[in-house]
């Protein structure tokens, strides 16, 4: 039979070659036909096999499975009981495992090889939240394209990215992996990343299938604690959580991953409302749904399914198509179908979706198409990628404070003290979720700044951020006691013209299962900062972190603050260019930075309360805290430049009743002395609606680069898709009434106007 199929595939392949003008539609229907013919040949057991995904034997990205399973996994691959692997990468490994499936299973159906290629494979881009701060969609598309190019050269054909979970909670470690708090920005970024990974043509050898994850609402884990319950209202679900997923589906993303959480009492993996009613029926998603690591099995611990059999049944009925690492599909589905508890049509549908992606990738034409040693050798770490990851790294940096123009630092004649363990770290800047990358492969801050060799540098670590081993799968130990390096740091600071302190979180202090209750500088770093400040106040604080931090003391005392996240391979070079002024910072925060962790969840697109304002001094009955301000430390969309911009002449033309558009124009001027780039942001408020709307919502943005003294008119057009919202039945409605428009450089934008619909 295997020969028959291969022969059949070969005939089709020749057929395709003979007619290069085949339209996409014809290709699609050819693929559908091939899938149907293959399905007709498959036994129930083989179809279920396609629905089964195992982790390989190299990396673990979840709780380690029982060791005894390995032999069974191999046997299952050979018996056609596996449709995909994850965590098998490298041409040699992929080829060997693919060979087992292709040569030894009855039908020789090739496997998918999935991997978390989240922000690069070997050459690492900034962590996703950092990239989101660039607001540069083309740079983010390119970053995903590079990741796909390297990963595909190493045998991988499917990535578990982009993570499109909106989150308003900086305690949650996985905010590093997303695009922040805003559904509009998040949707634009979701599209850009899907396009970057998948390209225009999935059958090319340098593009890979993408996964939008985690469906849905994982970013709303209660109290920011990983894997915790989610309980949100329908308005938030429809207007905040779902839009980036919808954008990814519209961009033709090939797979969607379930979330670990329970949403309103139902585990997302077993949620028919999410998976069938919304994703597959309403949105017509035609790719496949993969579970998260054992999320099928975890429905038992959630108290939803009594045992693995019931979990498999609930997941399959709900619309989960592939089971990652729980074994329940492969062990239970056959008898569930035979006993009449699961309709075989559901299995056919799931297998069909998975097979279609395999055809689209071109795996049936050549199962080893991603397995060229030569290509792998020339692609991994190819220097040609570095300029682009440096470009996005620079664009991701956000200047938070620049009192008395302490920045940029002079490029010569300065005696500079560099303090902080992170300054000398070549691994931490790679960030979390970069499992393909090699430790020590990032440019450290020290290496970056020492290239500006007309200054004199002295370095002192001051204190470690974490101690002991730093591994992706292990808990990290924070240094809360060892201050033995303080004296040395203080002594070099005393005689310096400028002190550059590189503080923050280790790259593995954010990411999966890295929730925190504090948003401070971990360990003894705040003390170090304050003690150095005692002897020299001329400090530039370079922050490296995977989430918003709450640093009110630093904001009050430290003159220069640069948010440098974890910027990947080119980290130190990007930071140095910003510190010394070769790059004028342009990043804008994609997530609100609070004053205090107790304000979390804090986000700009909040609803008004019934008592939003202080009625008169001393009054107590209004919506506030008694011990902290309501406002953020740095708002969403915020970021300074070495120049300054002004906004004027806001003009609104309301042609909605004629052609359905409202045009908004504004004049932006560079009022400073340097060339610079800003992001013009337009926010809208639908003042009165049948379901209350946020006080401000980002609707559109545009980046503009201006010379000193230059002005430009920026024009936006708002249409129904920007003016409406989802009501509590999930219908998109545009309601008449008054709207406020705000335009500016961040979510505090106060140049405003109004129009009526």
Site residues (vs ligand BGC, CB under 6 A): 61-62, 86, 116, 160, 213, 292-293, 512
**In whole angstroms, what is the distance from residue 111 CA to residue 97 CA?**
8
Going by C-beta distance under 8 Å and a sequence separation of 6 or more, which residues neighbour residue 14?
none
List, as one string, the DSSP characters of 492-552: HHHT-SEEEEEEE--GGGSSTT---S--S-TTTHHHHHHHHHHH---EEEEEE-SS----H
Q: Are 635 and 592 contacting, i.e. CB atoms less than 8 angstroms apart?
A: yes
**Shortest CB 315 distance to ligand BGC, Å:** 16
- 213 vs 369, which CB is nearer to ligand BGC? 213
- 150 vs 391, which CB is nearer to ligand BGC? 150
**Shortest CB 298 distance to ligand BGC, Å:** 11
**In whole angstroms, what is the distance from residue 647 CA to residue 151 CA?**
43
**Shortest CB 112 distance to ligand BGC, Å:** 13
- 61 vs 134, which CB is nearer to ligand BGC? 61
- 160 vs 184, which CB is nearer to ligand BGC? 160
Strand-pairing partners, residue 257, are 213, 290
- Which pair of tokens denotes residue 344? 């075989």
**Shortest CB 62 distance to ligand BGC, Å:** 4
Active site residue 292: yes
**Shortest CB 161 distance to ligand BGC, Å:** 8
- 295 vs 681, which CB is nearer to ligand BGC? 295
| Selected catalytic residue, list 182, 292, 686, 722 | 292
* Three-state DSSP state, 44: helix
**In whole angstroms, what is the distance from residue 154 CA to residue 437 CA?**
12
**Shortest CB 89 distance to ligand BGC, Å:** 12
Half-sphere exposure of 624 (CA within 13 A, CB side): 15
- 292 vs 323, which CB is nearer to ligand BGC? 292
- Which pair of tokens denotes residue 54? 């195992």
Going by C-beta distance under 8 Å and a sequence separation of 6 or more, which residues neighbour residue 580?
408, 409, 410, 411, 449, 452
Nearest-CB residue to ligand BGC?
A: 61
- Which pair of tokens denotes residue 314? 């609930």
**Shortest CB 322 distance to ligand BGC, Å:** 12
The two beta strands, 288-290 and 84-86, are: unpaired
Q: What per-residue string of b and e applies to 174-202 under the rule 16 or more CB within 10 Å gives b?
A: bbbbbbbbbbbbbbbbbbbbbbbbbbeeb
- 62 vs 585, which CB is nearer to ligand BGC? 62
Q: 499: how many CB neighbours lie within 10 A of its CB?
A: 26
> Phi, psi (5° rounding) for residue 756?
-115, 140
Task: Supply the residues annotated as catalytic.
Answer: 292
């Amino acid at each position: 039979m295997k020969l028959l199929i291969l022969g059949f595939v070969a005939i089709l392949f020749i057929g395709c070659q003979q007619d290069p003008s085949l339209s996409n539609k014809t290709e699609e229907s050819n693929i559908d036909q091939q899938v149907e013919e293959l399905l007709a040949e498959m036994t129930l057991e083989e179809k279920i096999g396609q629905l089964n995904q195992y982790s390989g034997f190299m990396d673990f990205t979840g709780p380690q499975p029982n060791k005894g399973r390995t032999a069974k996994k191999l046997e299952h691959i050979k018996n056609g009981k596996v449709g995909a692997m994850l965590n098998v990468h490298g041409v040699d490994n992929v080829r060997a495992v693919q060979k087992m499936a292709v040569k030894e299973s009855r039908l020789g159906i090739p496997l998918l090889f999935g991997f978390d290629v989240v922000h690069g494979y070997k050459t690492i881009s900034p962590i996703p939240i950092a990239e989101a701060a660039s607001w540069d969609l083309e740079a983010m598309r390119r970053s995903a394209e590079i990741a796909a190019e390297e990963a595909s050269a190493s045998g991988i054909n499917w990535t578990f990215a982009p993570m499109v979970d909106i989150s308003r909670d900086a305690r949650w470690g996985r905010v590093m992996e997303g695009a922040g708090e805003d559904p509009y920005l998040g949707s634009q970024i979701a599209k850009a990343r899907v396009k970057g990974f998948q390209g225009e043509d999935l059958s090319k050898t340098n593009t890979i299938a993408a996964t939008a994850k985690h469906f849905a609402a994982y970013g709303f884990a209660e109290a920011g604690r990983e894997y915790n319950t989610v309980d949100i209202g329908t308005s938030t679900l429809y207007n905040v959580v779902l839009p980036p997923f919808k954008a990814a589906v519209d961009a033709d993303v090939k797979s969607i991953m379930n979330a670990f959480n329970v949403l309103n009492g139902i585990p997302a993996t077993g949620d028919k409302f999410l998976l069938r009613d919304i994703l597959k029926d309403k949105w017509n998603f035609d790719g496949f749904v993969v579970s998260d690591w054992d999320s099928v099995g975890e429905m038992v611990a959630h108290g939803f399914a009594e045992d693995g059999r019931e979990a498999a049944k609930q997941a399959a009925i709900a619309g989960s198509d592939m089971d990652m690492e729980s074994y329940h599909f492969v062990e239970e589905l056959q008898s569930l179908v035979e006993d009449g508890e699961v309709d075989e049509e559901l299995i056919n549908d799931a297998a069909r979706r998975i097979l279609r992606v395999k055809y689209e990738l071109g795996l049936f034409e050549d199962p080893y198409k991603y397995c060229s040693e030569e290509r792998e050798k020339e692609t991994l770490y190819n220097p040609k990628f570095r300029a682009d990851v440096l470009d996005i790294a620079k664009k991701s940096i956000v200047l938070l404070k620049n009192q008395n123009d302490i920045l940029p630092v002079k490029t010569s004649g300065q005696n500079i003290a560099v303090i902080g363990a992170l300054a000398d770290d070549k691994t931490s800047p790679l960030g979390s979720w970069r499992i393909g990358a090699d430790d020590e492969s990032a440019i450290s801050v020290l290496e970056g700044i020492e290239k500006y060799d007309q200054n004199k540098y002295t370095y002192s670590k001051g204190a470690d951020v974490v101690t002991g081993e730093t591994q992706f799968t292990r808990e990290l130990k924070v240094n809360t006691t060892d201050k033995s390096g303080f004296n040395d740091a203080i002594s070099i600071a005393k005689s310096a013209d400028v002190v550059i302190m590189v503080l923050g979180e280790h790259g593995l202090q954010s990411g999966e299962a890295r929730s925190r209750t504090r948003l401070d500088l971990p360990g003894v770093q705040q003390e170090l900062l304050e003690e150095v400040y005692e002897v020299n106040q001329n400090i530039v604080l370079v922050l490296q972190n995977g989430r918003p931090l709450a640093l009110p003391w630093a904001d009050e005392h430290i003159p220069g603050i640069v948010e440098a996240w974890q910027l990947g391979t080119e980290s130190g070079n990007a930071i140095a260019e910003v510190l010394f002024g070769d790059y004028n910072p342009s990043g804008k925060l994609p997530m609100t930075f609070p004053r205090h962790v107790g304000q979390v969840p804090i986000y700009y697109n909040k609803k008004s309360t019934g008592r939003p304002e202080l009625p008169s001094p001393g009054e107590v009955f209004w919506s506030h805290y008694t011990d902290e301000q309501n406002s953020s430390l740095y708002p969403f969309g915020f970021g300074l430049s070495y120049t300054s911009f002004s906004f004027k002449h806001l003009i609104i033309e309301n042609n909605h009743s004629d052609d359905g558009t409202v045009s908004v124009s504004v004049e932006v001027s560079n009022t400073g002395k340097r060339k610079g780039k800003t992001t013009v942001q337009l926010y809208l408020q639908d003042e009165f609606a049948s379901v209350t709307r946020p006080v401000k919502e980002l609707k559109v943005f545009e980046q503009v680069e201006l010379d000193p003294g230059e002005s430009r008119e920026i024009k936006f057009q708002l249409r129904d898709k920007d003016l409406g919202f989802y009501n509590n039945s999930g219908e998109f409605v545009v309601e008449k009434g008054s709207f406020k428009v705000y335009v500016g450089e961040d979510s505090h934008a106060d140049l405003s106007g109004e129009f009526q619909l």
